[in-house]
Amino acid sequence: MKKTILALGATVSVMAATSAGAGVLETVVQRGTLNCGTDNTAPGFGYLNTTTGQMEGLDVDFCRAVAAAVLGDATKVNFVNVTDKSRFTAVQTGQVDVVFAHTTLKPGRESAITVDFLPVNFWDGTGAMVKTELGVEGIGDLDGANLCTTQGSSTEAALANLLKANGWSNQVLTYENLEKLFGALNSGRCDAMFTDKSALAAWRANSANPADYVVLPEIIEKSPFAGFVVANDSRWRNALRWISYALIEAEERGITSANVEETLKSEDPNTLMFLGAQGTFGADFGIPADFVTQAVKQVGNYGEIYERNLGPDTTIFIDRKGTPNALSKDGGAMISPLWN
């Protein structure tokens, strides 16, 4: 089934805003589809596959998991194109119900922009990529170079801090999205492209000749990615928070899309409660009792989502081992709170 991909702004009338007096959860259920804001220029996270016409990526799969959990059907998603600059306005104005778009969780975004973040779904860091022919070995070699990044991103502030700390006066150019940002580097309009290292690795891997580019080793700022929703709607936020945790918990328990149905035959009450065969988690959140089962069955656990989009069989391949993206039991930072 072909997914609907909407452009932000011109199609606001298509995306009904939250009904007066109703929370986002009630609006989504009544509408029967989830309006999920995501990027379409970030391979591995949110990317439009022009061959299949389908959206792909870790963020895209989190959108699908929410639709599966709340509506019982992972295909009931309208993917709404957002940029670094437009993503917060999109959720504040009700044009989208949630955004999963490689967004760095920062305190100022919850306090000043007034959105509520969901659990971290990927740990990244901000870095730079240059053309190999420049012979640059590290960020310290970029004094006087033209630098570029995306508009409205946290990298803009990180770059400003970098320049101030080093006493540099480099020109900084900003672009609407990652595609235009890479185009600027490729054409020579800028010498170094600054953004999340996962995006740098993706654009390098998908370029015509990856050897033409080098991702510099330094990380100038850590970037924990998380989805976010409109502030102060605790019913919607809490439901999505625990849907996100459920994907991690399922991986911790070894419950996958292939074995979840068999796992429902377990005699372990804690497992049955987690999967919604017993207990009231779903009803308490205002969503179906089997929300965890449907998310895992239709989309997969966190590990399956990661492997599908960033694993060794992809062109990008960002190894989880030895990084915060590994499960906590494997030395990483991905962990779910208790479910009993």
How do residues 147-160 score in pLDDT, each as one tens digit?
Answer: 999 998 889 999 99
What's the mean pLDDT in 308-334?
A: 95
Report whether pLDDT(256) > 50.
Answer: yes
User: Could you tell me which residues come within 8 angstroms of residue 232 by beta carbon, excluding any fewer than 6 positions away?
Assistant: 114, 116
Residue 63, both tokens: 């959108």
Query: Taking each helix axis from N to C terminus, what angle separates 291-299 and 234-253, rounded to the nearest 10 degrees?
Result: 60
What's the mean pLDDT in 175-184?
A: 94
- At residue 152, the pLDDT reads 87
pLDDT band for position 5 (50/70/90)? low
pLDDT band for position 6 (50/70/90)? low
Report whether pLDDT(17) > 50.
Answer: no
Choose which CATH entry (3.40.50.2300, 3.40.190.10, 2.40.10.340, 1.10.1750.10) describes domain 125-221: 3.40.190.10
- At residue 21, the pLDDT reads 56
- At residue 16, the pLDDT reads 41
Residue of 88, 94, 132 lying closest to 110 (CA atoms): 88
Report whether pLDDT(44) > 90.
Answer: yes
Listed in order, the ranges of the chain carrying CATH 3.40.190.10 are: 27-124+225-330, 125-221
pTM strictly above 0.75? yes
- At residue 1, the pLDDT reads 39
- At residue 11, the pLDDT reads 38
The DSSP output letter for 216 is -
Round the average pLDDT of the chain to a whole number and report it: 92
Residue of 101, 90, 116, 118 lying closest to 38 (CA atoms): 101
CA distance 31 to 11: 16
- In words, the CATH class of domain 27-124+225-330 is alpha beta
Residue 130, both tokens: 């240059």
User: In this prediction, what percent of the chain has a pLDDT beyond 90?
Assistant: 89
pLDDT digits (tens, 9 = 90+) for 212-250: 999 999 999 999 999 999 999 999 999 999 999 999 999
- At residue 18, the pLDDT reads 44
Query: Taking each helix axis from N to C terminus, what angle separates 291-299 and 58-71, rounded to the nearest 10 degrees?
Result: 140
